Structure 1
Amino acid sequence: MTKAAEENQTPPTQEAPGSAGVGTNPPAGAPVSTAVGDTGPPARGGRLPRVESLTGLRWWAAFFVFCHHMTNLAPLPIFDFLKYGTSGVTFFFVLSGFVLTWSAQPGTKIRTFYRRRFARIFPLYFLTLVAAFFVFYRVDPPAGMSWIKPVSVTVLVLSAFLLHGWSNNPTILYGGNPAGWTLSVEAFFYAYFPFVWRATQRLKVAGGLIICFAVIAIGCAYRLALFHYKTEVPVLPQPVLHSVAFLFGIGLAIALRSGWRPQIPVWFAFLVTGGGLYLLWYSGSHPTEIPGAVSMGLCQKEVLTLLYGFLIFAVAARDIRGGRSLLRSTPLVKLGQWSYAFYLVHATILYAIKEYHGVAGPIGWANLTWYAGVLVVSIFASWLLYRFVEHPLERKLRGPR
C-alpha cells in the first residue's frame, strides 16, 4: 500500500522536481510520502510556507490501513467498514502528487531527483522485503495458511525491482512484501513527475482545477466503460489506474501555489470525509436505498480521491494561513515520520503472529486488546527502522543538498 515530514526546524531532506530540473522536497504517496513539511519553491525571493500538519495526517492514514489489516487477525464488529482502511493508499497517492508539486523547486536536475527518490524509499523497502520473505514464503507452504506462498524467484525479482505492480495477477501484485505494491506505483509516479511538472509549472488556479476535474472525469468514464463493456475495454495496470489520485494531488497543489485560499474549516473537511466514507459503506451494503449507488461503487476510487483531496487541501490551506493544528503536535509529527516504516512492517509483524498463534478469536470488541498490542510492537519496530536504517541511509545516499 505509500514518509513524512522531517524535523520541524531542520531543512528538508527530500526534494521534488522543479522546473529546469526537479525540485527539492520529500516524496509523498503510498506511505512513501515524504516530508510534507518541506519548504517549497521560491516565491518572489522567498519560499512557500511549510505544511507540516500533513505529516501528522499521514499517520492517521497509515493507522487506517493498519486497522483494515488487523481484521485478518482480530476481527471487530465493524469489520465491513474497516475494509475501507485500504483507502488510506488513495490518500497517500493524492498526498504524493500534492507534496511533490508544492515543494517543487527549479534547479535540481532530473537525475538528482531520481537519486534522492531512490535514497528515500529503496533501502528500507529492500530490508523489509527480505524480512517479509521469511513470513510470506516457504519452499513447502503449510496447509490452511493461504498468505504463505511457495517461493518464486520471478515474483521476488519483480518485487525487488518494483515492477510487480504492473501485473494484475494477485500472486505477483502482492508478491514479496504485500504492502510493497504501492511502492511499485509510486516508482511510476516518480518516473514521470519531472516531466509533468515541467509541463504544468506555469499553470494557475484555473489550470490546476481543470487538471483535477479532467482526471476524475476520465477515471470515472473508464470505470463505467469497463463495467459496461468488459470484453472491449482492457484492464489497466495499477500504476496507471492510480495516476488519477496522483495527478489530482498535483492539480490541487497548483491551485494552492497560485493563491487559491478558500476558507474551509478543517473540522468541516473531516466531517465531509468521514461522511463520504460512511456513505460509500452504506451504499455498498444497501444499494437499492441510495440513488446512484452502483455508479458510486464503480467509481469508488475517484470518490475517495475527491474526499481525501478535499481534506488535504483544507489542512494545507489552514497551515498556510497560520492556524492552529493538533496535527503539527510533536507526537503526531514523529508518528508521521515513522509512518513509512510502519506501513512496510506492520503486516509482516501481524501475519507472523497469526502464523504462530492463529486468529485471535471470534468477532468482538475484546479483540481491541490485540489491536493495541500489535500497534505498540509495530510502532516500536518502525521507530527502530527509521532511526537506524531509513533516515541514516537516506542522508548517506542522497548526496549533497
Structure 2
Amino acid sequence: MRAAKPRVPRVESLTGLRWWAAFFVFTHHMTNLAPLPIAEFLKWGTSGVTFFFVLSGFVLTWSARPGTKIRTFYRRRFARIWPAHMVALLLAVFVFYRPDPDPSMPWIKPLAVGVLLLSVVLLHGWSNDPTIIWGGNPASWTLSVEAFFYAYHPFVQRATARLRVAGGAIMCASIVVIGCAYYLALFHFPKTVPVFPQPVLHSVAFLFGIGLAIMIRSQWRPRLPVWVAFLIFAVGLFTLYYTGEHPAQFPLATTLGLTQRVWLTVLYGIVIVAVVSRDLRGGRSWLRSRPLVALGQWSYSFYLVHATLIYAVREFNGLQGPRSSDNLTWYAGLLVLSIFASWLLYKFVEHPLERRLRGSR
C-alpha cells in the first residue's frame, strides 16, 4: 500500500491576517454610524472581501488532499459556513426588517419571505437587485459568492492538478488580463457586454488565489520581505483611492477605477504570498501571536455580526454628528462589543457545530 500523502503545513499567519481584513471591513461599516475625517478612505474597507476571496482560493487549494470525495468536500464547506450564517441571519432579521419600516431608516426593509429564503440557501448573491443581494443579513452576500466557489473548486482542482510554477503563473496572469478586459469592455460597450452577477465577477479573485497556491505548492518561495509586501499594498491602495478622488490629475485614472477589483486582487495576493513564504521558511511572525490567531479564528463570526450591531446602535442613537476624531470612542465601543459577540458565536455555534457536522472520518 502506498503511504498517504503528508498534510501540507498549516500557515498560522494567514489566520492572523484574516483578522485585519475583517477589521478593515468593520472600519468601512462604522462610517455609517460614526464617520471620521478619513471616511472616504475607509470606504475602501469593502476591499477586505476581496482579500477573503483570494484567501479562500489559496487555502482550499493549498490544503486539498488527493482522493477527497466531492461530497466530503461539500459537507465540510457546509459545516464551515452555514450554522453561524443561520444564527447571524436570525439576529439580523430583527435589525433589518419590520412589517412597517420607518422611511427615515432606509436600511430597514419590509418583510419579504422569498428574499429571506434565498438568503437561507445562499442564492441571493446571484441577483443585481439591491433588495435581494443585501437581503437577510446584508453581510451574507459574500457567502453566496463563496458557495459558488465551493461548488466548482473540486473540478478546478482536478483540472489544474498537474500545473506547477509556470502553469500557476500563467493562470494568474491570464486571470488578470481577462478581468481587466471584461471591466473595460463593459464600460466601452455597455449594450453588448452582459453584466455578470457577483459570484462570477469575484471568481477573478478566487481563481487568482488558486493560481498562487499552485505555485507555492510547487516549492516557489519568493524572498519578498513581508514589510515590503505591506508597503506595496499600502502604496497601491492609496494610489487607487487618490486617483479616484482626483481623476482629472491622472491620465489613467478612469482605467484604474474600472479595473480596481483586479488590482486589489493582485495587491492582496502579494501580501498573502509574502506571509506564506516567510512562514514556510520558518521566519518569525507577529501574525502568529496568540491574540491575533484567536481574533483570526473569530473573524468569520465577527464579519457576520458586526454590521448588525452597528445598525442596531444607529437605530437608537442615530448618525453621530459631523466627521470628527471624537467618533473614535464609538469605534472602540463597537469593536469591543463586536469581538465579544463574535467570540460567543464562534464558541457556542460556529466551532462546535462545524466539528459535529464534519463527522469523525
TM-score (norm 2): 0.98
Mark the CA change 1:225 to 1:278 in structure 2 (over 3 Å): closer, same or farther. Answer: same
1:2-401 aligned within 5 A = 46-401=6-361
Q: Distance in 2 between matches of 1:262 and 1:317?
A: 7
Return the letter of the residue paired with 2:89: L
Q: By how many angstroms is 1:45 displaced?
A: 5.1
Q: Which has the higher contact order (CA 8 A, sep 6+)?
A: 2
Q: By how many angstroms is 1:359 displaced?
A: 1.0
- In structure 2, stretches of 5+ residues that fail to align are none
Q: Distance in 2 between matches of 1:380 and 1:215?
A: 39
Q: Distance in 2 between matches of 1:47 and 1:208?
A: 21
Segments of 4+ moved more than 3 angstroms? 42-47
Q: Distance in 2 between matches of 1:143 and 1:283?
A: 35
Q: Distance in 1 between matches of 2:233 and 2:287?
A: 16
Q: By how many angstroms is 1:107 displaced?
A: 2.3
| SS of residue matched to 2:248 | coil
Q: Distance in 1 between matches of 2:8 and 2:114?
A: 45
Q: Distance in 2 between matches of 1:194 and 1:46?
A: 19
Q: Is the 8 A contact 1:136 1:149 kept in 2?
A: yes
Return the letter of the residue paired with 1:66: F
Report Cα offsets for 1:37-60 as digits up to 9, x if no partner.
Answer: xxxxx9995432221100000000
Q: Is the 8 A contact 2:7 2:63 kept in 1?
A: no
Q: Distance in 2 between matches of 1:288 and 1:350?
A: 35
Please give the root-mean-square deviation of Cα atoms over the aligned residues, in Å.
Answer: 1.2
Q: Distance in 2 between matches of 1:209 and 1:72?
A: 40
Q: Distance in 2 between matches of 1:327 and 1:129?
A: 30
Q: How many residues align?
A: 360
Report Cα offsets for 1:42-83 as digits up to 9, x if no partner.
Answer: 999543222110000000000000000000000000011001
Q: Distance in 1 between matches of 2:347 and 2:26?
A: 21
Q: Distance in 2 between matches of 1:190 and 1:82?
A: 30
Report Cα offsets for 1:216-257 as digits up to 9, x if no partner.
Answer: 111110000000001111100000000000000000000011
Report Cα offsets for 1:179-228 as digits up to 9, x if no partner.
Answer: 00000000000000000000001100011011101111111100000000
Q: By how many angstroms is 1:162 displaced?
A: 0.2
- In structure 1, stretches of 5+ residues that fail to align are 1-41
Q: Is the 8 A contact 1:168 1:237 kept in 2?
A: yes
Q: Distance in 2 between matches of 1:143 and 1:244?
A: 37
Structure holding more helix per residue: 2
Report Cα offsets for 1:352-399 as digits up to 9, x if no partner.
Answer: 000011112211000000000000000000001101111111111111
Report what 1:23 is aligned to: none
Q: Distance in 2 between matches of 1:391 and 1:169?
A: 33
